[in-house]
Amino acid sequence: MQANFSLKNYNTFGVDAYAKQFISVTTAEELIEALSLEKPFLILGGGSNVLFTNNTIESVIQINLKGIEVVEETTNKIILKVAAGENWHQFVMWCVEKNYGGLENLALIPGNVGACPIQNIGAYGVEVKDCIVGVDTLEIATLKNQHFKNEECQFNYRDSIFKNHLKGKQIITAVSFRLTKQNHLLNIDYGAIADELYKNNITTPTIKDIAETVIKIRESKLPNPAEIGNGGSFFKNPIISIEHFKTIQSNYPSIPSYPVSETLIKVPAGWLIEKAGLKGFRDGDAGVHKNQALVLVNYGNASGIEILNLAKHIQKSIKEIFQITLDIEVNII
């Protein structure tokens, strides 16, 4: 346990905040002990999806559980149980190197494995829910282990039961994934991937080709948190009615869209922000990234409040121009 601990290097925004008490747990026993000692507390993983808006946090428990276990294996499939503290991108690339398919489109997403079910991370036409078998947790009130099957997790677009009904009630300790060992179902229809593969004359891509393509695309568009503080996508891509979409389309014929159902359609939040003239906008050290308007950045010494105020300014502008409410994807602490 460490007192008055700086969290600047424990959140990818690089916001300077302090924990009155900081505990990093590496075993289930240490986690139970920490929970019995520290209340109230904040559970922290890789710090890639949080924005600290308070200078001081009471107590922080960092989940640093490690390990990858083969639960079940057949000729075609493998089920892996992965501890919550494993780095997400490193795990994805470990799978790619072993030719385990299913997660390759989710390469280079920051954070740890334990965070992936909470908001059902997704990118380039893939959502992690499609590979998750189940989620192991520790119930905070009883300190008992629980297991949630995929259907019990109530996965939705950037959403799950852990983000809503069970928020603050369960700590994710491990996630189990079902992956393919052969005859992989490749997801290459997303425009940027297809274009990049075509450009490189790759007609029969492997999962490694897809992962490397995704990494190349993300690196060209998204800032490295080690160089410019950020939390990845700050807003969810809004889902609106087709009638609303057609109204916007009459003024902006080039608006991109992705069908969700017969009555709903998803539009890119980054495109909306760019069309509002806010791509590259900067207020002090808080800004909108010049290459990807969906990403808010800390150019050095921005506070969490300053970044949040910028987000509110963006929300107000999008509401006024497009009559669309942008929902924040990052957890505001």
pLDDT tens for the chain, 333 residues: list them.
788 899 998 999 999 999 999 999 999 999 999 988 767 788 888 888 899 998 888 889 999 999 999 999 999 999 999 999 999 999 999 999 999 999 999 999 988 999 999 989 998 889 999 999 999 999 999 999 999 999 999 999 888 999 989 998 999 999 999 999 999 999 888 778 988 898 888 889 999 999 999 999 988 888 888 889 998 889 999 999 999 999 999 999 999 998 989 999 999 999 999 999 999 999 999 999 998 999 999 999 999 999 999 999 999 999 999 999 999 988 898
Q: What is the pLDDT of residue 135?
A: 98
Query: What whole-number distance in Å separates Cα of residue 310 and Cα of residue 141?
Result: 36
196's enclosing H/E stretch is helix 191-199
CATH number for domain 229-332, candidates 2.40.50.100, 1.20.1090.10, 3.90.78.10, 3.40.640.10: 3.90.78.10
For the chain, the straight-line distance linking the first and the last C-alpha, in angstroms and rounded, comes to 21
DSSP class per residue in 273-304: HHHTT-TT-EETTEEE-SS-TTEEEE-SS--H
Rounded Cα–Cα distance for residues 102 and 318 (Å): 35
Give 241's strand partners: 264
**Residue tagged 């359609």 (tokens):** 265
pLDDT at 2: 86
pLDDT, residue 257, reads 92
Q: 68-180 has which fold?
A: 3.30.465
Q: Which helix (H) or strand (E) holds 229?
A: strand 229-233
| Number of other residues whose CB lies within 10 A of the CB of residue 162 | 25
Question: Which residues lie below 8 Å from residue 213, measured CB to CB, with a gap of 6+?
Answer: 193, 196, 197, 200, 202, 205
Q: Distance between CA 330 and CA 311 in Å, rounded?
A: 11
Strands 239-241 and 264-266: antiparallel
Of 91, 89, 9, 12, the closest CA to residue 48 belongs to 12
Query: Which residue numbers are catalytic?
Result: 158, 233, 329
Per-residue confidence (pLDDT) for residue 129, from 0 to 100: 97
Residue carrying the six token digits 């001081």: 56
- pLDDT at residue 71, rounded to an integer: 96
pLDDT at 38: 64
- The token pair that represents 139 in the structure block: 């119930």
Rounded Cα gap, residues 189 and 182, in angstroms: 20
Residues of the chain with CATH 3.30.465.10: 68-180
Residues of the chain with CATH 3.30.43.10: 2-63
Q: How many whole angstroms separate alpha carbon 15 and alpha carbon 18?
A: 10
DSSP alpha helix (H) spans, the chain: 28-37, 88-97, 191-199, 207-221, 242-251, 269-275, 304-322
Q: What is the distance between the alpha carbons of residues 197 and 186, in angstroms, rounded to a whole number?
A: 13
Please, where in the chain does CATH 3.90.78.10 lie? Answer: 229-332
CATH of domain 2-63: 3.30.43.10
pLDDT score for 201: 87
Nearest to 155 by CA among 189, 193, 126, 190: 126
Residue 326 DSSP label? P
